[in-house]
Amino acid sequence: MSDNVTNELLLETLKAIRAEVAQVRADLKENTAEVRAVKHHVQGLVLTDFNRDSEVASLKLRLERIERRLELND
């Protein structure tokens, strides 16, 4: 009789562990999707920043060229 109780308790415990592992897997998938979305967002921000830096650099070059033509440089 004690073997039966022990086996039943063990089976219930294993079922509970299995359910918790399934929940952890689901949470992990959700977190992975969120991290992926954040990575894509950050990638977009970096690209936007790079494009802005490029535009500022080209404007600086144009300004230097204009200053040279007008002989305004020090």
Cα→Cα distances 46→25, 33, 40, 49, 58, Å: 31, 20, 10, 5, 18
pTM: 0.62
Per-residue pLDDT of the chain (74 residues), as tens digits, is: 566 778 899 999 999 999 999 999 999 999 999 999 999 999 999 999 999 999 999 999 999 999 999 988 76
